[in-house]
Chains A and B, each alone.
Chain A
Amino acid sequence: MVWQKENKFNYETFLEKHKVILVFFMLLFIGLSIRLFYLQIIKGDKYRKISQQQRMYNTRERAPRGIIYSADKEVLAENKFNYVVFYHPLKAHQNSLEQVIVELNKILDGKIKQIANKDLKYGKVVKLIDNLTVEEMFKIQEKKLNLKGVSVVREPRRVYFHPEAISHVIGYVNEIRSNEIENMASQGYKIGDYIGRGGIEQEYDKYLHGKDGGWQIEVNAKGYQIKAFKYVTPEVGADIYSTINLKLQKVAYDALKDSCTARGAIVVLDAKTGAVKALVSCPGFNANTVGSKKFDKYLKNGNSPLFNRTLQALYPPGSIFKVITFAAAADLLNINPSEITFTCTGSFEVGNRHFGCWYKPGHGNLNFIAAVAQSCSSYFYQLGLKLGIKNLEKYAKKFYLGQKTGIDLPNEKKGFIPNPEWKKAKLKMPWFRGDTAIFAIGQGAILVTPLQMACIMSAVANKGLRYKPYIVDKVVDFEGNEIYKHELKFDDKLELSDKTWTLLHQALLESVENGTGRRCKLEGIKIAGKTGTAQNSQGKDHAWFTSYAPADNPEIVIAVIVEHVGGGGLNAAPICKKIYEAYFNIEPTNEFNKEDDQ
């Protein structure tokens, strides 16, 4: 009665189906085996690596950042140690985060309001509160038994000693943002790292940040500690010696702050090296308030205190640009400096348009030198037309306008030099002769930064030798090795004839002695400078003054701009004078000189 024999037809059809089923099942198993082979043999190394990584966890012990010093050996930024409370769920049977917060609030009178970082994922540490006082720390340590999973850690915290005055030079630090981490990961940054923002903190972050240490431990899937492997001591960051002269910086900041609008910028350069002696942008901010509500207010403030005006703000140069027009004219046109070649009537006609001189009644008869000293616009209109836009553009570029100075600070702007091609492409208009005329006095679309203006003066002071401005002199690591040192070398030489340089010096000296810059005149020290009054569409004119001193053997170069206050000679030159007084120790009237006496 075996069906194989009894029911042959049925059995044969069954055998066919049986074969199909067998092959089908075999294919299924082959599919599984291929996948297994792929996972274990082909991708095995990758998965082995992941499995190693995810059982390792590093606790973080923050490294203190390096200290930043000024040139006069003052500490500008340092670390203070404070106590931070972490929720650190590394062991089973710990209190939950909510319980811990309730308990801690009992001790600290409800100091913990909310936690920024709520995602408690597999043993991730949650920072509950920082900036604890010692008493509070002891209170918590006493009740440690009720607070399982809480650890109090001594952590370095950045402290800035001269907030506001020097805020833009130093910058500040805060935690790296999650959207930045992708780009920064290649440079070795991790989530939770502190990173410098703005100023030296940002530019020299790689030297300053040191190396975090901590325990390397094995954790299980819940993030609980299984065993500890090794401890890495944190490495202190390298110290930075900047070229900033704190005294000058403070004088400059206070002088700017006392001005009408309290908005502006000052750059003080060492004429012989390019070292930045002071770099002031007003208003400043207090970097010690980072992370608090006070700091958020800076973001909304209309005066934009976080903005470093010395290298990020773009202004029209105004009459300062006449220095360049003058140099071009002296170089290219054969001008007799003492010959009276032009009479200013207070207005100048180009085609059918009238261009006014700042002095409405007119300067009358002028020679080449007096035209600079009086800053006569009419004179320079005609000079500009004689030179033509090509030459003006060429000389503007020769004086490094429209390009970055290359200072070792982040986010520098390069400014803008217009030309006929640009105007045609952008505004769909031809370049008029009037455009050339106002270009010659530094108005129109031309934009510069205060630092660039200081660099022009520095080049003039050095008769064409140009030093790259720099702010960090050297970096010294915690063992005392010098790991970075600024190399002094001039970038480039601005080739102009000796006659041109002499004429320029003469004109700039005259400008301070008898001309528009006379409010900066100092007893005993010869100062060469140029005022500027930059018209702008936002409001009152910007006041410029750039200068160098002593004129015979230049030591320092100063560029001052005060926003929306009016004429440069009236508003910017006196501020500059205060800085010279401080530098040359003339008129000992303020407390800084007392300090010097000590």
Chain B
Amino acid sequence: MIQERPFFQRLIFSIDWWLVFSVMVLMSISFAAIYSAGINYELSFRYVSVQLLASSIGFVGFLFFTGFNYQYYKYIGKLLYIFSLMILVAVLIFGSVKRGTKGWFDFGFVSFQPVEFAKIVFILIFAAFLDICSKESKKISFLIFAFAILAGHLTLIMMQPDFSSTLSYFPVTLVLLFTIGVGFFRLICIMILGILAVGIPLLATFIDMQLEFLQGKMLLTKVAIFLKTGWNVFYFIFVILFLIMCGWWLLWKLKIKIQIVYPIVLSVTILLGCMASIPVKNSLKDYQRKRLIVFLNPNIDPRGSGYNIIQSKIAIGSGKFMGKGFKKGTQAQLGFVPEQHTDFIFSVIGEEGGWVMAQLTLFFYFIFIWRALMIAKEARDRYGSLVAIGIATMFTFYVVINVGMVMGMMPVTGMPLLMLSYGGSSIFSSLCAVGILCSIHSKRYTYC
């Protein structure tokens, strides 16, 4: 039954050429844009060569992951999880600090950012967990377990602290939970809980800083002073918890019956968030605080984050239909747009290539994501589908957040545009992700 074909024939048959083609187009656009963006820094050659090197390493990774049967990940899920945690811990101990984030392994010439890789590993692990425990997906304990997995990664990344990298975890988690069949109501509850759990420690830190640095908005400062005096903060939390319980009891009396678990989980989350805020506040170093401030309130940035956004909007808008031509963008070449080779690469494409190139880039990105979703549809088992959907989600949200930011629709976060931005780690891990997709694709018709 199993017909042995020659290796190359099998490869050609098993690879999704649309997927690979779109990746190739995106990468060639990326090289041109990085070259042009680097002229202003007089680093074009270095950028392009580093990117080429990373891409070729990435290509090896791509081939490796294409060849590796993705189904094994499911069985070594626990191992992978422990491994990823170890890497994240290691980077906290041995890593080097760049721009306020302790997230790089520095090997002299090359440096590597393990977060980029951890994101993909997380998709593999999380999909494995969901696939194995899918029968229990209606239970609360299932959700709690799922979030325990997420929390492991998030805490370690937050400790670097790299807030923007954690952003992609949330959509991936939510979309995968949705795919496995968790109800809408619960997803919304999860969102609220997630916002509370992350928001409370951030808010606590922020309020502290409000007192130290800002003293800007009167209301916030007053609230901060109120909470800081004596035992007020404890009374405040107690009152909130009491109100939650009262509300639940009232609803119960009104015949709207909600399981007791929900208010309890809500209360516990708030309590945990409050407790977590104490170590978060105390353990933050100065540079970490600074990064957090800029993340929460970008206007403190001396040149103003508004400046970045305005300039990148001008850059994109001034490209008009046909663009100003390769290496001829005044915004890019005169350095008006900061970080134009990394996070703001899309502004260079929009300015020098015009609407034609920018729309083409978005189009090929969509082709890529569409193919990823098709791979999910055709996958041989549910695990494969989940992994493919996870990867598609990750890419989609990177594009939406990054391009949205460059066009002034989203706040400034340090998220790169995968496969386009300059950055060795991100291009390498992106290509590995493409490799995994190809692996899922190649197994679609193989029976064993």
Segment of A45-53, A262-270, A499-507 in the binding face: A45-53
Given that A3-B381, A7-B382, A26-B366 are contacting pairs, would A40 and B334 also be in contact in the complex, using a CB cutoff of 8 Å? Answer: no
In the complex, B344 has a CB within 8 A of chain A: no
Segment of B117-125, B236-244, B264-272, B353-361 in the binding face: B353-361
Is there an interface contact between A220 and B316, defined as CB atoms closer than 8 Å?
A: no
Given that A21-B175, A51-B314 are contacting pairs, would A40 and B365 also be in contact in the complex, using a CB cutoff of 8 Å? Answer: no
Docked complex Cα distance between A175 and B40 (Å): 37
Is there an interface contact between A50 and B334, defined as CB atoms closer than 8 Å?
A: no
In the complex, B73 has a CB within 8 A of chain A: no
Is there an interface contact between B314 and A47, defined as CB atoms closer than 8 Å?
A: yes
Q: Which single residue of chain B is at the shortest CB-CB distance from A218?
A: B334
In the complex, A145 has a CB within 8 A of chain B: no
In the complex, B350 has a CB within 8 A of chain A: yes
Could you say which residues of chain A place their CB within 8 Å of the CB of B317?
A: 39-40, 43-44, 46-48
We find that the number of chain A residues with CB closer than 8 angstroms to chain B is: 42
In the complex, A17 has a CB within 8 A of chain B: yes
Can you name 21 A-B pairs with beta carbons within 8 Å? Answer: A2-B380, A3-B381, A17-B178, A18-B377, A20-B178, A21-B393, A25-B369, A28-B400, A29-B399, A32-B362, A36-B407, A39-B350, A40-B319, A50-B318, A51-B331, A51-B336, A55-B330, A55-B336, A220-B336, A221-B334, A221-B335
Considering the complex of A and B, which 7 residue pairs feature the smallest CB-CB distances, nearest first?
A47-B317, A44-B320, A51-B318, A220-B334, A221-B335, A40-B355, A48-B318
In the complex, B247 has a CB within 8 A of chain A: no
Is there an interface contact between B404 and A32, defined as CB atoms closer than 8 Å?
A: yes
In the complex, B376 has a CB within 8 A of chain A: yes
Docked complex Cα distance between A220 and B392 (Å): 39
Is there an interface contact between B335 and A220, defined as CB atoms closer than 8 Å?
A: yes
8 A Cβ contacts from B268-326 to A: 311, 313-321
Is there an interface contact between A47 and B318, defined as CB atoms closer than 8 Å?
A: yes
In the complex, A299 has a CB within 8 A of chain B: no
Which residue of B311, B319, B377, B382 is within 8 Å of A10 (Cβ)?
B382
Is there an interface contact between B330 and A52, defined as CB atoms closer than 8 Å?
A: yes
Could you say which residues of chain A place their CB within 8 Å of the CB of B19?
A: none
In the complex, A15 has a CB within 8 A of chain B: yes
Could you say which residues of chain B place their CB within 8 Å of the CB of A45?
A: 320
Is there an interface contact between B358 and A219, defined as CB atoms closer than 8 Å?
A: no
Hey, which bits of chain A sit against chain B, CB under 8 A? 1-3, 7, 10, 13-15, 17-18, 20-22, 25-26, 28-29, 32-33, 35-37, 39-41, 43-48, 50-52, 54-55, 218-222, 226
Docked complex Cα distance between A221 and B314 (Å): 13
Is there an interface contact between B330 and A40, defined as CB atoms closer than 8 Å?
A: no
Is there an interface contact between B385 and A14, defined as CB atoms closer than 8 Å?
A: yes
Is there an interface contact between A40 and B313, defined as CB atoms closer than 8 Å?
A: no
In the complex, B389 has a CB within 8 A of chain A: yes
State how many angstroms separate the Cβ of B262 from the closest Cβ of chain A. Answer: 24
State how many angstroms separate the Cβ of B432 from the closest Cβ of chain A. Answer: 22
In the complex, B215 has a CB within 8 A of chain A: no
Is there an interface contact between A22 and B370, defined as CB atoms closer than 8 Å?
A: yes
Which residue of A17, A39, A54, A221 is within 8 Å of B407 (Cβ)?
A39
Is there an interface contact between A40 and B358, defined as CB atoms closer than 8 Å?
A: yes
Could you say which residues of chain B place their CB within 8 Å of the CB of A13?
A: 181
Q: Which single residue of chain A is at the shortest CB-CB distance from B356?
A: A40
Could you say which residues of chain A place their CB within 8 Å of the CB of B447?
A: 1-2
In the complex, B91 has a CB within 8 A of chain A: no
Could you say which residues of chain B place their CB within 8 Å of the CB of A39?
A: 313, 316-317, 350, 407
Could you say which residues of chain A place their CB within 8 Å of the CB of B157?
A: none
Residues 357-400 of chain B, each 1 if its beta carbon lies under 8 Å from chain A, else 0: 01100100110011001001101111001000100110010011
Given that A17-B178, A221-B335 are contacting pairs, would A1 and B362 also be in contact in the complex, using a CB cutoff of 8 Å? Answer: no
Docked complex Cα distance between A14 and B29 (Å): 35
Among the interface residues B40, B311, B330, B379, which one has the most CB atoms of the partner chain A within 10 A? B330
Is there an interface contact between A32 and B407, defined as CB atoms closer than 8 Å?
A: yes
Given that A32-B362, A39-B317, A44-B319 are contacting pairs, would A14 and B179 also be in contact in the complex, using a CB cutoff of 8 Å? Answer: yes
Is there an interface contact between B370 and A21, defined as CB atoms closer than 8 Å?
A: no
Is there an interface contact between B313 and A36, defined as CB atoms closer than 8 Å?
A: no
Could you say which residues of chain B place their CB within 8 Å of the CB of A37?
A: 355, 359
In the complex, B256 has a CB within 8 A of chain A: no
